Structures are given as C-alpha cells and as structure tokens.
Amino acid sequence: MGEDQTNFMAKAQSELSISEFAELLCSDHLGPELGKVGIKFIHSMLLGISKSRSVNLTDISQALDEKINLHATHKRLSRNLEDLELSTNLADRLLRLGSEIVGPDTRLIIHLYELNKRYARKMEYLSRRDELDGGVFKVCEILASEPESDSYIPLTVNVWSNQVPGFISDADEIRKTVLRIRAAMGNRGMFYIDDHSLDFELFKPIMEDAKLDYISLLQDKDLELLHKNERYLASDLLDQVETRYAKILYKLVPEGMVGEAETDLDLFVHVGAAAIKLQSSNRPLSLIALKYSSSLGENSTPIITTKVNLRSRKALMGLVESFLATQDIVELHQKLRSSFGPENFRVLTYNRLQLLMTLLEAVIYYEVSVSGNVSLRDHRFAAKPHDGEFDRTYLLPKLVERG
C-alpha cells in the first residue's frame, strides 16, 4: 500500500474533504500521470457533483461558481469529458484504490440498471426500444462489501447500449466487467449476483466460467445438475436436500406485499447443501436449499455457489445470511445514486457519458467510505424483531415494569 493511501486510511475515521480525496485519487502511485489539466478537471468534477448533487453539467458549473463566465466553465468540463485516455486512467485509479480493501471473502456485488432518456434524440449510440420508452443505456456496477458489513464501496462502472461499436450482448458486457474486476483483485473476493437486476441468461456466462467464484439465486429450476453421478432437475434436487440447520429470521416486507402497511414477518428458515456439478463442467459446486415457512405458507429457494464443503452451521448459515443481506447494500447504493439524478445527464457522446458515470462513482466512493454520511437504516432480514411501528405477524413480549 502506498504512503498516500496509508495516510488516507488512517485519516478516514476523521473526515477528509472532497478536495483531499481528489488529491488522493490523482496521486502518482495510483496510475499514469494525469497532467495539470486532467487533475484540475477531476478536482472540479468531484467538487461540482458533490455540491450540486447532480450530473448535469450546468448544475455542476453553477455549483463551482468560478470567477469566469458560466458558459466557459461548462465548455471546459464538456471538452475534458471527451478524453478517453483520462476516462480509462480514472477508472483504473478508482479500481486500484478499492482493491486495497478487498479480501478473499469480500462480496463483489454485480448490479445492473438502466439510464432512460425518453425524449433524447441526438445522443450518440442511444439504444431505442420504441417511441414510448425512448432511449436507454445499460449500466453495470460492481460494489465491494465485507460479509457482515453495513458499508460498501463502488469499484467500477460500465455503460453501454446495443448501438455501441463492438457490442455483442448484454451478457458479454457484464462478463467483461466481471473479468476486469477479477484481474484487478487477483482473484480475491466472491461475486454475489443481484438477482433483482440480472436474470438467468445474464448470469449464465458467469456460472459457466470455471475461474470465477460466485453465489447466486438459481432462477432456472429446470436446469439439469449432476449429484452423485446422477442427473437431477434443480427443482427435484432442491426437495431432496436435507436442511439440518435452522433459525428464526425476521423479514421487513414493504407495504402492499403482505398488508397495507410495512410488515415484519417472522420466518422459520432452514438450510442444507448438496455437492453438484454442471453438465458442462467438472468443477465442484454446491446447491444450497433455502427453505422457509411463515404464517403465509412455505417456500423453497435454490442457491448455487462455487463454495464447497459447507458442512458446518457457521459456514453454511453464515454464507446464506451474507447472501440475503446483499439487497440491503444494493438498496442503500440505489438510494444514494438516485440522489444525484444520473438519468438527468445531458451530454451528447458515449465517451462523455462513460467518464461522467465514473466520476459519479468516485463521488459515491467518497461519500460511503470517507464522509460517513451514508448509513443503513434497517436490514431486510434480521435475527431479532425490527424496531419501529410495523404490522407484525407475531406477538411481541409485553414489557413488565419492575420495582
């Protein structure tokens, strides 16, 4: 770890300013020289995005309040956003900064979302589905979070559409992003699939890569698996897995899903694991059977992972709880990212958009890891009843006054 970054980590518990963070990000040990113009631009953009809570260049220019014409500031920022070499350099720097805290068990969460520009017409490479939906860009982010942590950092962001030169498929773009992370991390960490944003077809190339470690909900219950040299459908094997470890969890369910109000649902959760292989690979895998019952009924969920020998309660239940907590991190990130209105960008070229989203990731990195202004309000799944005014599917013990 470089001296600048050692000092940064030591100061992180106190508060660095966004300008000090920009200095770290531009320091020589993180990558090739940026030059005075590049350094000034990164400082300006991080400060402007942070102050304006926006990725709109007009808002950023106004927030900077430079002693020159507003149009001149806007023009300078727009011109520098087109620098492809700078874009690559900054993305690599952010990744190197994040890689220092990634360990063998770090969750590397793959999250996908869309930037919709309904009325845009002149944006370069904008994909169009139909006249009503307007244009769209796909975005893949990878977030790093420790298994029992309520915090995270963004590692990288990749933006594309089906009109970008060289585009093959969404699955290919996601896989390229994942491989970039794997190379930077030296195979440390495990990829956690955000099944709310990635369907099975997008996950499949990751699942079939023998060099990637992952855990994911298995959305295709008709997938054929090998268990003890016998073929099974995932759904059939799921029913046969012995679920020897159990505990009570409380799930906070949004309003409208169980009742009219937000509801705390008590679940009896029991889990087990079976050794499996895919038909296309000899790599040992595990199928985790996650079964739960509540006042609403019973359900079973298959989870597939490269983790094997999940024989102890600590190993198996710990991995399942870490996986269930993934959505807490994703939702925290979505809320913070949305506060900047990323869909309100107004740049006309693809290169500018990619660099703009990387700069936004850098500001988010600062806010979640340094400023301390971002915190998780509640865990969706908890070992104890959630505090607060909720509808509940169980009775809380009455408080008895003593003395």
pLDDT digits (tens, 9 = 90+) for 187-206: 899 999 999 999 999 999 99
Sorting pLDDT into bands at 50, 70 and 90, what band is 121?
confident
pLDDT digits (tens, 9 = 90+) for 315-332: 999 999 999 999 999 999
392 in a domain, yes or no?
A: no
**Residues 24 and 10 placed together within one structural domain of the fold:** yes
As for how many domains the chain has, the answer is 2
Q: Is the pLDDT of residue 310 over 50?
A: yes
**Residues 19 and 123 placed together within one structural domain of the fold:** yes
Q: What is the mean pLDDT of residues 326-352?
A: 96
Sorting pLDDT into bands at 50, 70 and 90, what band is 118?
confident
**Residues 202 and 315 placed together within one structural domain of the fold:** yes
**Residues 66 and 181 placed together within one structural domain of the fold:** yes
Q: CB-based contacts of 256: which residues, under 8 Å, 6+ apart?
A: none
**Residues 176 and 276 placed together within one structural domain of the fold:** no
Rg, C-alpha atoms of the chain:
23
For the chain, the average pLDDT equals 91
Residue pointed to by tokens 């507003």: 70
Alpha helices in 209-296 (DSSP H): 234-240
**Residues 319 and 358 placed together within one structural domain of the fold:** yes
Q: What is the mean pLDDT of residues 244-253?
A: 94
Sorting pLDDT into bands at 50, 70 and 90, what band is 134?
low
**Residues 16 and 130 placed together within one structural domain of the fold:** yes
- Nearest to residue 303, comparing CAs of 264, 271, 339, 347? 271
Q: Is the pLDDT of residue 74 over 90?
A: yes
Q: What is the mean pLDDT of residues 100-104?
A: 92
Q: What is the mean pLDDT of residues 49-61?
A: 97
Tokens describing residue 158: 């990749």
Residue 2 has a pLDDT of 45
Q: Which domain holds residue 156?
A: 3-213+307-384
Strand partners, 387: none
Share of the chain above pLDDT 70, in %: 92
223 in a domain, yes or no?
A: yes
Q: What are phi and psi of 17, to 5 degrees?
A: -80, 165
Q: Is the pLDDT of residue 13 over 80?
A: no
Q: How far apart are CA 287 and CA 277, in angstroms?
A: 9
229 in a domain, yes or no?
A: yes
324 in a domain, yes or no?
A: yes
**Residues 302 and 374 placed together within one structural domain of the fold:** no
Q: Kindly report each contact of residues 296-301 with a partner whose C-beta sits within 8 Å and lies 24 or more positions away, as own/partner.
A: 296/258, 296/265, 296/393, 300/238, 300/239, 301/217
Q: What are phi and psi of 346, to 5 degrees?
A: -135, 65
116 in a domain, yes or no?
A: yes
Residue 33 has a pLDDT of 96
**Residues 179 and 261 placed together within one structural domain of the fold:** no
Q: Is the pLDDT of residue 10 over 60?
A: no
- Nearest to residue 369, comparing CAs of 3, 90, 4, 18? 18
Q: Is the pLDDT of residue 130 over 70?
A: no
396 in a domain, yes or no?
A: no
- Of 262, 282, 306, the domain-final residue: 306
393 in a domain, yes or no?
A: no
**Residues 266 and 344 placed together within one structural domain of the fold:** no
Sorting pLDDT into bands at 50, 70 and 90, what band is 133?
low
**Residues 122 and 172 placed together within one structural domain of the fold:** yes
Task: Give the Cβ contact number of residue 180 at 10 Å.
Answer: 17
Q: What is the pTM of this model?
A: 0.92
Query: H-helix or E-strand containing 335?
Result: helix 326-338
402 in a domain, yes or no?
A: no
**Residues 292 and 314 placed together within one structural domain of the fold:** no
pLDDT digits (tens, 9 = 90+) for 366-375: 999 887 677 7
- Of 240, 272, 306, the domain-final residue: 306
